[in-house]
Amino acid sequence: FLASQMEWRETLEDCKAEKNIPGLENLLKELRAEANSLETKLTKLFDKKKDVKGATEATRKLTFIDKVYADVNKTIGILED
């Protein structure tokens, strides 16, 4: 997950520098897909397996994705103005 975090942040910064809105939109799609996957995993970990530690880790990952997602949306808004 650390490698993904670094890649997402690097993509955000590259697209921002290049004013590449389509690239940012693609990043949003990737983040959405990862979040959906984690949400499904979270449900299984917490509700079915009662794995609180695993659910906590999935929640931390979702929190990070949410922050990057917000940063990407903010950047798109700035570039569109």
Specify the pLDDT at position 46. 81
Per-residue pLDDT reduced to its tens digit, 14-59: 999 999 999 999 999 999 999 999 999 998 988 888 899 999 999 9
Question: How many CB atoms lie under 10 A from the CB of residue 58?
Answer: 21
Under 8 Å between Cβ of 24 and 12: yes
3: region left, alpha or beta (phi > 0 left; psi from -120 to 50 alpha) = alpha
Q: How far is 19 from 65, CA to CA, in rounded Å?
A: 21
State the pTM of this model: 0.90
